[in-house]
Amino acid sequence: MTSNNIEALRTRLAGGETTARATAEAALDAAERLNETLNAFLQIDREGALKRAVEIDAAASDKSDTEPPELSGIPIAIKDNICVRGLQTSCGSRILGGYHPPYTATVVERLQRAGAVIIGKTNCDEFAMGSSNENSAYGPVRNPWDTARVPGGSSGGSAAAVAAGIVPAALGSETGGSVRQPAALCGIVGLKPTYGRFSRYGLVAFASSLDNIGVFGQTVKDVAAVTRVIAGRDPRDSTSADVSVPDYVAELAHGVKGARIGVPRSLFGEGLDEGVRESVEAAIETYRELGAEIVDVELPHAKYCIAVYYIIATAEASSNLARFDGVRYGFRAEEANTLREMYRRTRDEGFGPEVKRRIMLGTYVLSSGYYEAYYRRAQQVRSLIRRDFHQAFERCDVIATPTTPTPPFLIGEKVDDPLAMYLNDIYTCTANLAGIPGIAIPSGLSADGLPIGLQLMGPHWSEAALLRLAHAYEQARPLNARPRVHAFA
């Protein structure tokens, strides 16, 4: 077997070369075998996945004359902050250790209805707070390209599982780049959709005005196929928008010709690794060769995005994470004599340092006397960032930037310097602040053989254009390399 992307698997399943059961078994075996090295999974559901796969095989033989659902028999992994009934949802935190949610997220229900087989829950930074996956209470995930390095975060387990060929696709979540950044650092495709494109019912909330569910895939086509299944309005999430869902897969064929790609040159300077800059410049040149028009654009307030992001995200987190109090679910500290003492001890023992740091920062910026100076001002600058994009998209269809300032860094390298860690999100968090979609695709490898990601961002609801342009690049410049740690190695 050389490839297990969705398209290849569907062909083999339809042709009777394999079964859903054999496909699930291969994924489960790889997940178990590679977990000692990668620590990508927090739970592997062998029993449940095989049961589901057997049902799918039975249904396919009963109705052999009808087309099976579009993800029939496809193994998929889910980040451990998205609820799946029957499985755990720890959010990478001790405070939710062993928690089993009583319901399933809408996006997962839609995957299951389309025939997908959920094989397990993936490791992540605690409550999705981090850019390296080192903030998980259950140990860091390792990058399949170099196990001394981080896979990115916060959805590092999902990214590593896809990069290592365990599953063709996985779901993650992102608040400031937690899908696109690990996708870039693991050499795969990651899509963050428009705010409101995917239902968030069943996603554990971090910062509600920024949170999105996102899709990882080995190929752009696979990301398009999963996106087509899960997108669209859900009455159970009032922030999901009633906007029609295009056929993202069919749209891929339309090519690049005539597309206007905006390049914000001012973001290609300080702090950007030279190898990343060269790789992304070469990718932009490829688009020109493919027939796109390259135009200069300005995003004058983008440089403030980390400051704005860490005020808004921590403020919203301090409020959202107030629900973890040891009363209704999850961990409770023992031997507390009063309710207040129980809250404080539960949260002290249950949360890790980064989560505490962010809850405190959020509490500070919202506290009496500081709200206007920090939170309100950040929301004003957020308006300016939105306006920058709005004006830039009058001149171009999509904007191209690096996804991350550097290739994957070493585990432990930035762990004692929160601010340096935050700067990883400098190219990605603007999209969350503006509510626009973005996609990370591999642009190439560094001189050391580490993945580098190109990012495309577009106006609200432009996922089809992002996928189409990403697909064109992937066809022109396929990443003909595979990580050292891989299911087929």
Residue 223 beta carbon to other proteins: minimum distance, rounded to whole angstroms: 21
C-beta of 295 vs 423, nearer to other proteins:
423
Residue 339 beta carbon to other proteins: minimum distance, rounded to whole angstroms: 5
Near other proteins in 243-272, by CB under 8 A = 243
Question: Of 136, 178, 279, 443, which residue is the catalytic one?
Answer: 178
| Chain mean position to CA 486 | 20
Contact indicator for 283, 473 with CB cutoff of 8 Å: yes
Near other proteins in 364-423, by CB under 8 A = 364-365, 367, 374, 376-384, 386, 418-419, 422
Near other proteins in 430-459, by CB under 8 A = 432, 435
Distance spanning both ends of the chain, measured CA to CA: 11
**CA-CA distance, 153 to 150, in Å (whole number)?**
8
C-beta of 414 vs 471, nearer to other proteins:
414
Contact indicator for 178, 57 with CB cutoff of 8 Å: no
Question: Of 72, 79, 279, 414, which residue is the catalytic one?
Answer: 79
Residue 93 is among the residues annotated as catalytic for this protein: no
**CA-CA distance, 311 to 308, in Å (whole number)?**
5
Which of 265, 340, 394, 480 lies at the binding interface for other proteins (CB under 8 A)?
340
Residue 178 is among the residues annotated as catalytic for this protein: yes
State the binding string over 53-92 for other proteins (x if CB under 8 A, else -): ----------------------------------------
Starting at the edge strand that comes first in sequence, how are the strands of the sheet with 169-174 ordered?
41-44, 117-122, 75-79, 169-174, 212-217, 189-192, 438-445, 451-457, 398-402, 260-263, 293-296
Contact indicator for 31, 41 with CB cutoff of 8 Å: yes
Residue 392 beta carbon to other proteins: minimum distance, rounded to whole angstroms: 17
Near other proteins in 156-195, by CB under 8 A = 194-195
10 Å CB burial of residue 11 (0-12, 13-18, 19+) is exposed
Which of 100, 260, 482, 486 lies at the binding interface for other proteins (CB under 8 A)?
100
> Stretches 149-157, 214-222, 287-295, 321-329: which one binds other proteins (CB under 8 A)?
321-329
C-beta of 12 vs 344, nearer to other proteins:
344
**CA-CA distance, 82 to 105, in Å (whole number)?**
6
Other C-beta atoms lying within 10 Å of the C-beta of residue 8: 16
**CA-CA distance, 166 to 170, in Å (whole number)?**
10
Residue 5 beta carbon to other proteins: minimum distance, rounded to whole angstroms: 31
Q: Contact between 460 and other proteins (CB under 8 A)?
A: yes
- Please identify every residue annotated as catalytic: 79, 154, 178
